[in-house]
Structure 1
Amino acid sequence: MAYVAVKGGEQAILNSHRLIAEDRRGDPEVPELTVSQISEQLGLAVDRVMCEGSVYDRELAALALKQAQGDAVEAIFLLRAFRTTLARLAVSNAIDTDQMAIERRISATFKDIPGGQVLGSTYEYTHRLLDFDLLDPADVEGSKAKTADAPLDPNLPRAFDSISDEGLIEAELPAPDQTSVFDLTREPLTLPASRDQRLQNLSRGDEGFVVGLAYSALRGYSAGHPYVGETRVGDVALEIVPEELGFSVSVGDITVTECQMLDLFAGSADEPARFTRGYGLAFGRSERKAMGMAIVDRSLRCHEYGEEPKYPVQDEEFVLSHTDNLEAAGFVSHLTLPHYVDFQGDLQFIRQLRREQIDSRSTKEAAE
């Protein structure tokens, strides 16, 4: 019977595909949205799809958004599915964010930092009022803001380098027993997870979920109050080492957002008091994601500092098992598929329970 039901729904599925195409196009009197327009004018949406889809390609991410009618999760699904068809040509070197061509760089820990605060492009200081001038693009054509006259120094020191030199901030050191970086796109998550697994998981994870977990930590469901040590947005060189050459060559630049959170650690019998770090890195201009990621990363490092995990954001299995938006969306959406047999089984079970309850009451009343 199940096979007949599936075959019977084939025409309905084909009709649904045609309706999707019609809904995607919308009113044919309105000019169709192009992939280049999405890439250039909906850049933050494109950045999110690239980040959570694990493919740095603005055109493909914009195409996925168009195909998905702007549904970010569906677009991420499309991009990840395409990713599985791509050959693995090389493994890049670790990017050097100290050499970033900076577009935005801020720190909440010091008022004055070497090289200065660079506000860049941000909605933080906008009034959050609808701009009705955007209804007629001709009215705002050519109204670009003035940018810096000269490029920023690509070797700007970290905002907190001065106190790092005093040993007041946890040093950045590679894991002593790690010979290679885990690749979450090719291997399943293992628990307990190493930090590279956790960071990859959070970077690919759903932005809303990661930020929600970070929010829970800030509201008191965690042990500390973090500070934005520094957030950087800009372009970094991507380099590989071809086997036939034996030295690094640049294959292009990518835009990334990096955030380092600082959190107070009071010290222990073996460790001095200092600030510890949480780290976030995401494709494109993804500041909210990188900040949320850094907060969650520090929360999940509680075991390293002898802190007792008491809150959801500190529960590694809970956090890392529920970040993936494709798994979450798929599990919720699967409820729309046929569950006739399951429901009939539960329906029969409920009827049986009700009969037993009625019989039990009748027996009790008779005994009284």
Structure 2
Amino acid sequence: MSKQLASRVEALSPSATLAITAKAKEMKAAGKDVIGLGAGEPDYNTPDNILEAAWQSMKDGKTKYTPSGGLPELKDAVIRKLERDQQLTYSRQEIMIGIGAKHVLYTLFQTILDPGDEVIIPAPYWVSYPEQVKVAGGIPVIVEAAASAEYKVTAPQIEAAVTPKTKAVILNSPGNPTGMVYTRQELQEIADVCRKHDLWIVSDEIYEKLIYGPAEHVSIAQLNGDAKGRTFIINGVSKSHSMTGWRIGFIAGDSVVVKAMTNLASHSTSNPVTTSQYAAIEAYNGPQDAVETMRKDFESRLEKIYPQLEAIPGFRTVKPQGAFYLLPDVSEALEHTGYTDVDSFAEALLEEANVAVIPGSGFGSATTIRLSYATSMDLLEEAIKRIRAFVEDNWKD
């Protein structure tokens, strides 16, 4: 029997985030004092009211199959959330619940892409965008956003990348790994390009609730009817309500596509986890105090840690406006410490300084590293001290 793997998986790159996080956990299990600034999940537990709702649903016997596209009650909770937060109106037929926003994105690309279709992806990008496009037979078209432009692509950049094969544009605001937020005007200009060339817009808004300073979250679907009609909003409870492990995300968009996605999900996952769906209903319908408490804490950490990071020799960081990541450009540090790339730099940082960061190469950003500040201030400050000592000890003029 042939041991050949299918070409669709042979072409995939492993997740840099999960790989380095796994190595850090191995070192920690072996007794090493490792500080992990890798994986992107809040360090808060899921709020008590959500835990209670999940437990009550199980005691009430709500542990069976649900509709493939999610519980009607959860769809209604999502609809109310979108009305409340974005002033957008959707029907149940335009909503699908999936096993986390990642699964929703995967199912969307499987549904709208044919072999050879192109998807424009701004870089730096979340690691799974290009891989999910590739496994659906599509072609990722990377458009690089410069640090000088706050790591945001412009409408002219997107238009220059459009070809007759372009099917969609991905937007992620607030962004992972950059933490940057697109303004209403920037989104309007991008929406105009997408209208001109009749493109789908995939708007990943999973960090929507984590916004800092004067920045404002605007969904591109809010701009006008045309933008709403061609936009798929992707969101979920993972980051907003510290529910990463519960695996509940949703899509809001064109009903024909959503119906096809639901049909596909019925053959791949049957339904999202029932208990998690009841937890998510409470997350959206219940009090939102914990969401704001967590946001304020992340903002406080950012304000404290950002100047400390900037003080490290050879580090240059665009201050983020959302999410919980910092993306310093370490070009100068690489030059003066003798490392040829960010991968070897991050590996040495883990092995010699016991600090786990994610090399930017996995995000399409070859001169950066990503640090998550979704951990305690004590650990953050200790990690920054270790990184600074590592750089200074290895610095060569």
Return the TM-score normalized by structure 1: 0.25
RCO comparison, higher one (Cα < 8 Å, 6+):
2
Q: Could you say which structure has the larger radius of gyration? A: 1
TM (norm. structure 2) is: 0.24
